[in-house]
Chains A and B, each alone.
Chain A
Amino acid sequence: MKLFRNNADFKLDVLREVGNIGAGNAATALSTLLNKPVDMAVPTVNLLPFEEIAERVGGSEAVVVAIFLRVEGDAPGNMFFIINREPARRILQGLLGFNAAENDAYSELELSALNEIGNILAGSYLSSLADFTGLNLAPTVPSLAVDMAGAILSYGLLQFGTMGDDALLIETAFIEGQQDSEGHFFLIPDPDSFEKLFRALGVPI
Chain B
Amino acid sequence: MTEGTLIKIGMADLNIGDAGAVLKTTGLGSCVGLTLFDPALRLGGMAHIMLPSSDIAREGQLNIAKYADTAVPELIERMKAKGALVERMVAKMAGGAQMFAFMGGSDTMRIGPRNVEATKQVLETFSIRLLSEDTGGNYGRTVELNSDSGIFVIRSVQFGVKEI
Contacts and interface: CB of A to CB of B under 8 A. Distances in A.
Contact of B29 (A63, A154, A161, A165): A154
A151 interface: yes
A54 B26 CA distance: 11
Interface of A: 50-51, 54, 59-61, 63, 68, 70, 140-141, 143, 145-152, 154-155, 157-159, 161-165
Contacts, number: 96
Interface string B32-58: 000000000000000000110000111
A50 B10 CA distance: 9
A154 B157 contact: no
Interface stretch (B70-78, B85-93, B95-103, B124-132): B95-103
B24 to A, nearest CB: 10
B63 interface: yes
A148 B140 contact: yes
B59 A151 contact: no
Contacts of B29: 147-148, 150-152, 154-155
Given A61-B26, A154-B29, A154-B31, A147 B99 contact: yes
B27 interface: yes
Nearest to A160: B59
28 contacts: A50-B11, A51-B11, A54-B27, A60-B26, A61-B26, A68-B100, A145-B100, A147-B99, A147-B139, A147-B140, A148-B29, A150-B11, A150-B26, A150-B29, A151-B30, A154-B30, A155-B29, A155-B99, A157-B11, A157-B50, A158-B51, A158-B108, A159-B108, A161-B66, A162-B51, A162-B57, A164-B61, A164-B63
B51 A161 contact: yes
A143 B102 contact: yes
B88 to A, nearest CB: 32
B120 interface: no
Interface string B1-33: 000000000111000000000000011111100
A140 B31 CA distance: 23
Chain B interface main SS type: loop
Interface size class of B (residues with CB under 8 A): 20 to 34
A93 to B, nearest CB: 22
A9 B127 CA distance: 52
A159 B108 CA distance: 9
Closest 4 CB pairs of A and B: A150-B27, A151-B140, A151-B29, A60-B27
A140 B106 CA distance: 12
Contacts of B100: 68, 143, 145, 155
A162 B139 contact: no
A155 B30 contact: yes
Given A150-B140, A157-B50, 7 more contacts: A143-B100, A145-B138, A151-B140, A152-B140, A163-B59, A165-B12, A165-B63
A59 B142 CA distance: 12
Interface in B122-156: 138-142
Contacts of B111: 155, 158
A60 to B, nearest CB: 4
Nearest to A191: B58
B78 to A, nearest CB: 19
Nearest to B62: A164
